[in-house]
Amino acid sequence: MKAAVLREVNKPLEIEDVQCADPGPREVLIRTVAAGVCHSDLHFQNGSYPYPTPAVLGHESAGVVEAVGSMVTYVKPGDHVITCLSAFCGHCEYCLTGHMSLCQEPELQRSQDQPPRLSSGDEAIWQFLNLSSFAEYMLVHEHAIAKIRDDMPLDRAALIGCGVTTGVGAVIHTAGVEPGTTVAVIGCGGVGLSAINGAAIAGAGRIIAIDVLDSKLELAQKFGATDVINAGKVNPIEAVRELTGGGVHYSFEAIGLKQTAEQAFKMIGRGGTATIIGMIPVGTHIELHGPEFLLERKLQGSNMGSNRFRVDMPRFVDFYLQGKLHLDDMISGRIKLEDVNDALAALETGEVARNVIMFE
């Protein structure tokens, strides 16, 4: 099969022929139909988050089941599925207490004494985040997929695999935004737009979108933003405080930078909560003014929207088909696998929400 392989950090991905193993007892072989090019892929491609190489990147995807292992009962060939990088074991402390997105049990991967899921001749290829969706096929553990209804377009479904689940989940699950409250979202890429959309679904009374590109702020209004702030023209902290009379109840940072993480905390009001969604580079430290915590301001992180993805993703599909999730507007372009490096480069400029690789 064709796959986009990362062989060296900060180098273009190489389109190669890669072998995919047969499904083991609890594994599922998926024909990839669509894969979003996410900013997280860029973080690993440029070395912000170290990862072993060679590896096939990609993690935001949807496809059709081709074959299943002998012990798999959840899906059958022909089923439509969304993948999720936060695969769950089902029996660790995190899974049993409802925090499946924090599960990191190694049993979801093949052991070292087993043949690798991906290879090139005699060379083992690392599987990226249990998925590796920049490839024509994916071989994954059955606990890395969610079955969905067949009438959901798979290019839109792929977005639910990461960006939508991360953004909407951070609002609904991690922060627990309440109806009528005020929300600010920093960064209007795929995850930020999803957080804005999630805040609208949650019934937030005022949703403030913050970015430095007017085109993305205009797009944010389609997703539910009631106010927009261009942080390249005004101080976003002062602007938010002025709009809300002292700060928002909830803020969300969806870029992954020290400066914007600190801004997210500074723009919440007394008793407010700032949630960091963006992947802040390894080695970065956030600086905050200690006395502000006496005002019961909170700073927290969110991993993949604190999801319960087998429950959440089918619901998000229903939201889209009911007109509540605006996934059509999130897709900037549909591309071929060979265009993946151009799509990664476009993420550097911040001008796109999502390019989606189509495999058929």
Q: Assess whether 141 carries a catalytic annotation.
A: no
Catalytic residue among 20, 84, 103, 162: 162
Sign for the pseudo-dihedral over CA of 6, 170, 356, 2: positive
- List beta partners, residue 27: 141
- The residues, ordered by sequence, that sit 6+ positions from 289 with a Cβ below 8 Å of its Cβ are none
Q: Assess whether 302 carries a catalytic annotation.
A: no
Quickly list DSSP for 149-177: -TTS-HHHHHHIIIIIHHHHHIIIIII-P
Catalytic residue among 59, 80, 143, 249: 59
| CA-derived radius of gyration, the chain | 20
Q: Assess whether 59 carries a catalytic annotation.
A: yes
Helix (H, G, I), strand (E, B) or coil at 95: helix
Quickly list DSSP for 101-134: GG---GGGS--TTSPPSEEETTEEEEEGGGT--S
Catalytic residue among 40, 61, 101, 251: 40
Which alpha helices (DSSP H) does the chain contain, by range? 39-45, 93-96, 154-159, 165-169, 190-202, 214-222, 236-244, 258-266, 309-321, 340-349
Long-range CB contacts for residues 333-337, cutoff 8 Å, separation at least 24: 334/155, 334/358, 335/37, 337/2, 337/3, 337/4, 337/15, 337/134, 337/136
Cβ–Cβ under 8 Å, residues 155 and 34: yes
Query: Rounded to whole angstroms, how far apart are CA atoms 255 and 358?
Result: 26
Cβ–Cβ under 8 Å, residues 31 and 147: no
Query: Rounded to whole angstroms, how far apart are CA atoms 128 and 112?
Result: 16
- The residues, ordered by sequence, that sit 6+ positions from 244 with a Cβ below 8 Å of its Cβ are 182, 206, 208, 269
Helix (H, G, I), strand (E, B) or coil at 214: helix
Query: Rounded to whole angstroms, how far apart are CA atoms 71 and 55?
Result: 27
Catalytic residue among 39, 43, 173, 326: 43
Catalytic residue among 38, 95, 103, 188: 38
> Which residues are tagged catalytic?
38, 40, 43, 59, 162
